[in-house]
């Protein structure tokens, strides 16, 4: 039955129709109920998410950008989406038995609005995920203690199209092997032209051994349940990060000694959990064309919320 006929028995706003239209596209249920201005306000709220996220990718990673341009818009718009359905239901239920149709009370207009919202903001959201920011869940501990199993991170894909990775950066890239996960997360240890010498736990870049300083156990409370070895601060090229050396994984045939020159437009990567990581020591250097982006934020941390926030600064 078409709810927009001129029959007086069918002009009353039907609550389930208002809810269905709201779930298809927030605000359309209000337009159906004759609340055009409120409906359009709710309708265009969805457009905010891809716009705000895209703007956020242009700024240097910061806590303000993460909260103000990524998390808050996403949460607010999600709340408005469910509010729109509930409010449209209440308005329809309280409507007069004989609702006088407005010029815009036409099924064709509803479907046009729904189609535009599917094609434009949803398309922009998919585009933002593909080219701007993408969220990843980390299931493994190859990057502990910097990243833990259960961490959810935001990867900046836009920056990877403008910048060449530097030593110390944490990147996400496509798995170069036919088996295993779709993508890996590792730290850049060497860039194109670098000569690396890896001898057991010793790593040299261009003839200089990477500096390490033991991290006191009491300073690792936020990740203490994930520590299974000795943790050090490692430094290179102005970047300081934590690495862990513990028991070796007997299932991984990690070369004890290796010397390599990083090929052009490639990077040599290693996991921070050095003895439990499958990385460039196993599958070689990674071409930058296989890189997806840089890890900018930990937006849902495992173990402790003290780890929430900016990772790449």
Per-residue pLDDT tens digits for 181-193? 889 999 999 999 9
Mention every residue, 6+ apart, whose C-beta is less than 8 A from residue 219.
none
Task: Write the pLDDT tens digit of every residue in 249-264.
Answer: 544 566 667 899 999 9
Instruction: Give the pLDDT confidence score for residue 279 in this predicted structure.
Output: 93
pTM of the model: 0.82
Beta bridge partners of 199: 202, 257
Position 4 pLDDT exceeds 70: no
Res 251: pLDDT: 46
Query: Chain-wide mean pLDDT for the chain?
Result: 88
The pLDDT of residue 9 is above 70 = no
The DSSP result for the chain, as a single string, is --TTSS-TTT-SPPHHHHHHHHHHSTTHHHHHTT-HHHHHHHHHHTTHHHHHHHHHHHSPP-HHHIIIIIIHHHHHHHHHHHHHHHHHHHHHHTS-SSPPPPTT--HHHHHHHHHHHHHTHHHHHHHHHHHTEEEEE----TTTTTS-TT-EEEEESSGGGT----TT-EEEEE-SSSSS-SEEEEEEEEETT-EEEEETTEEEETTEEPEEEEPPGGGGGGGGGG--EEEEEEEETTEEEEEEEE---TTS---SEEEEEPPTTEEEEE-SBGGG--SHHHH--EEGGGEEEEEEEEEE-SS-GGG-EE---
Provide the pLDDT for residue 247: 66
- In this prediction, residue 11 carries a pLDDT of 79
Q: Which tens digits make up the pLDDT trace of 29-51?
A: 999 999 999 999 999 988 888 88
Percent of the chain with pLDDT over 90: 62
CA distance 164 to 173: 13
The band of 75, judged by pLDDT with boundaries at 50, 70 and 90, is very high
Task: Please report where in the chains the tokens 């990775």 appear, as a residue.
Answer: 165
* Residue 218 pLDDT: 79
Percent pLDDT > 70 in the chain is 93
- The better pLDDT of the pair 121, 67 is held by 67
> What is the pLDDT at residue 261?
97
User: How is residue 11 written in tokens?
Assistant: 């002009």
- Rounded average pLDDT over 146-168: 89
Position 54 confidence tier, pLDDT thresholds 50, 70, 90: confident
pLDDT of residue 144: 92
- Close Cβ partners of 313 (under 8 Å, ≥ 6 residues apart): 60, 61, 62
The DSSP bridge partners found for residue 170 are 187
112 against 130, higher pLDDT = 112
Nearest to 38 by CA among 3, 1, 83: 83
Cα–Cα dist 299/154, whole Å:
7
Domains plus CATH for the chain? 15-131 (no CATH), 133-310 (2.10.109.10)
- The lowest-confidence range among 147-156, 219-228, 289-298 is 219-228
Q: Which pLDDT value is given to residue 256?
A: 66
Model pLDDT, residue 15: 95
pLDDT on residue 180 = 75
């Amino acid at each position: 039955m078409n709810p927009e006929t001129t029959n007086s028995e069918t002009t009353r706003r039907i609550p389930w129709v208002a809810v269905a239209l709201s779930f298809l596209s927030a605000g359309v249920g209000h337009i159906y109920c004759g609340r055009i201005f409120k409906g359009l306000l709710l309708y265009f709220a969805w457009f905010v998410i891809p716009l705000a996220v895209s703007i956020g990718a242009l700024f240097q990673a910061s806590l303000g950008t993460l909260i103000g341009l990524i998390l808050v818009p996403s949460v607010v718009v999600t709340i408005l989406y469910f509010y729109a359905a509930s409010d449209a239901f209440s308005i329809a239920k309280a409507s007069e038995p004989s609702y006088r149709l407005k010029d815009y009370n036409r099924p064709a207009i509803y479907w046009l609005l729904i189609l535009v919202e599917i094609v434009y903001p949803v398309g922009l959201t998919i585009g933002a995920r593909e080219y701007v920011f993408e969220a990843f869940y980390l299931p493994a501990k190859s990057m502990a203690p910097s990243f833990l199993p259960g961490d959810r991170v935001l990867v900046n894909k836009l920056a990877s199209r403008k910048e060449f990775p530097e030593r110390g950066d944490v990147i996400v890239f496509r798995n170069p092997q036919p088996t295993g996960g779709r993508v890996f997360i590792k730290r850049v240890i060497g860039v194109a032209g670098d000569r690396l010498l890896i001898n057991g736990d010793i790593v040299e870049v261009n003839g200089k051994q990477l500096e390490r300083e033991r991290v006191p156990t009491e300073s690792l409370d936020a990740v203490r349940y994930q520590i299974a070895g000795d943790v050090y601060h490692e430094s290179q090229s102005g970047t300081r990060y934590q690495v862990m050396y513990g028991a070796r994984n007997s299932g991984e045939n990690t070369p004890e000694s290796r010397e390599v020159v990083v090929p052009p437009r490639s990077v040599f990567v290693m996991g921070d959990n050095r003895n439990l990581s499958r990385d460039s020591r196993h599958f070689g250097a990674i071409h930058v064309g296989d890189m997806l982006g840089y890890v900018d934020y930990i937006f849902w941390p495992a173990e402790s919320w003290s780890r929430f926030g900016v990772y790449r600064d």
